[in-house]
């Protein structure tokens, strides 16, 4: 995650939310690969306006300071911000490479694929065939600088029965992480289940 040191709380929150959609994209890329590291299981990039501290590991977290130019940031348009964030991530990754064992090729390749994809972060969080009703259920996610959105799609072959937004939050995993552990059908209801076993969303079946 990118954060800003020594800045007002509201400013930090805005920066963190806007940059997080890039960090989420990279995190999911790492999760798809078996990564071996030395002494840490998470990387945190910290945007800083002061002199950079040496990279260090604390509680199995590799902390990396990345130069942050507040004046440049404030002068950018919304369309320019994704590339600004990508360059910050790239800078942090490069600074880790000489001294820490990191999945360099995966990280740099993911930044490039993110650019080539038009800075879009979309993915399918859960896909399940509900055999009881022969329906394919999919939770599709979109994350931008402004919001996170999840949609539930129910289909059979090419026929789509349902396609609606089921969750909309600020763009940070603390709001939506673990919300789509399962999709079930029971008692004439299709339910999206979170990691705690609670229902995030449900609708009656058949759809009227």
59 near 38, Cβ under 8 Å?
Answer: no
- In the predicted structure, residue 11 carries a pLDDT above the cut 70: no
pLDDT category at 167 given cuts 50, 70, 90 is very high
Residues forming beta bridges with residue 150, ordered by sequence position: 141, 167
Cα distance between residue 182 and residue 200, in whole Å: 10
Domain boundaries, the chain: 9-116, 121-204
Can you give the pLDDT at residue 17?
87
pLDDT category at 40 given cuts 50, 70, 90 is confident
Can you give the pLDDT at residue 12?
53
The burial of 99, by beta-carbon neighbours within 10 Å (0-12 exposed, 13-18 middle, 19 or more buried), is given as exposed
């Amino acid at each position: 995650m990118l954060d800003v040191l020594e800045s007002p709380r509201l400013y930090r929150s805005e920066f963190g939310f806007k940059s997080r959609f890039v960090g989420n994209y990279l995190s999911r890329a790492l999760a798809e690969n078996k990564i071996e590291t030395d002494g840490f299981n998470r990387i945190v990039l910290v945007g800083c306006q002061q002199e950079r501290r040496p990279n260090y590991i604390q509680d199995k977290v590799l902390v990396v300071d990345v130069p942050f130019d507040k004046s440049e940031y404030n002068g950018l348009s919304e369309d320019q911000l994704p590339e600004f964030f990508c360059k910050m991530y790239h800078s942090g990754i490069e600074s880790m490479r000489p001294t820490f064992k990191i999945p360099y090729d995966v990280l740099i390749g993911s930044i490039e694929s993110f650019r080539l994809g038009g800075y879009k972060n979309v993915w399918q969080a859960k896909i399940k065939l509900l055999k009881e009703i022969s329906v394919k259920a999919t939770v599709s996610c979109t994350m931008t600088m402004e919001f996170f959105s999840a949609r539930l799609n129910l289909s059979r072959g090419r026929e789509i029965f349902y396609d609606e937004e089921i969750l909309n939050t600020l763009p940070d995993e603390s709001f939506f992480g673990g919300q789509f552990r399962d999709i079930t059908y029971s008692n004439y209801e299709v339910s999206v289940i979170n990691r705690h076993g609670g229902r995030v969303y449900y609708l009656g079946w058949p759809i009227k």
